[in-house]
Amino acid sequence: MMKKLNTILTAVAALLCASAAAHADDLTFTLKNGTNSVLTRFYTSPVGVNEWEDDVFGEQVLEPGESIEITIADGRTVCRYDMRFEFEEGSDLDTTEDRQDLCKLGSYTIHE
């Protein structure tokens, strides 16, 4: 009886670990620049975190009409992220912020 109980507990533990790992997967989506301005900086931060994390683009920019695949590999198990978009100097566009469930999002287009 004890051996059977240990087998069941081991199976349950494995299922729980697999479930937790599935939620910690990297979030991947396509970001499209649907504006007429160069997108120079893109920041994300989980909802409830009061500071922006590093610029996702680094040295890159996203030209008007271009797309890029974004991967957020922060190891968190959250889906709702705040996003901040900054455009080139001299652009007619102001910094824009939005909040999305990135687990459900396959692509996101920033518009003017």
Q: What CATH number is given to the structural domain containing 91?
A: 2.60.40
Assigned domain for 32 exists:
yes
Q: Could you give phi then psi for residue 18, rounded to 5 degrees?
A: -65, -40
Render each residue's pLDDT in the chain as its tens digit; 112 residues: 545 434 444 444 444 444 444 445 788 999 999 999 999 999 999 999 999 999 999 999 999 999 999 998 888 888 999 999 999 999 999 999 999 998 888 899 999 9
Alpha-carbon distances, residue 17 vs 2, 30, 74 (angstroms): 22, 29, 18
Q: How many C-beta atoms lie closer than 10 Å to residue 83's C-beta?
A: 20
Range of the domain at 102: 25-110
16, part of any domain: no
Tell whether 80 is covered by a domain.
Answer: yes
**Residue 100 forms part of a structural domain:** yes
The alpha-carbon radius of gyration of the chain (Å, integer) is 19
CA atoms of 29 and 74, how far apart (whole Å): 14
Residue 12 lies in a domain: no
For the chain, what is the domain count?
1
The answer to whether position 42 is within a domain reads yes
